[in-house]
Structure 1
């Protein structure tokens, strides 16, 4: 059996982000969202072209 440790309360972590860093993070987030949307569209198109046509 392992040693039981008392449960510690969660700790709060505070960070400081400069405005330019925050803007870079937002730009990267937007770019990644656009990339995900484009990849989802490509996936849907590929899946649609793989399905046999209903007659």
Structure 2
């Protein structure tokens, strides 16, 4: 077994971000959230079709 080391105290990191960078990140986040919702919907649809086909087999 390895040596148990005490956990370090959490550290806070401060960063500076420009308004245009923040806007771009928000747009990217919105686009990714939309994509996740679309893919989730496609997976649910495929699961419904799969379970429907399994019932008729």
- Name the TM tier (shorter chain): 0.7 to 0.9
- The count of aligned residue pairs is 54
**Alignment root-mean-square deviation, CA:** 2.4
Distance 2:30 2:4 in 1: 45
Greater helix content: 2
The equivalent residue for 1:37 is 37
User: What runs of 5+ residues in structure 1 fail to find an aligned partner?
Assistant: none
Unaligned runs of 5+ in 2: none
TM-score (norm. length: structure 1)? 0.77
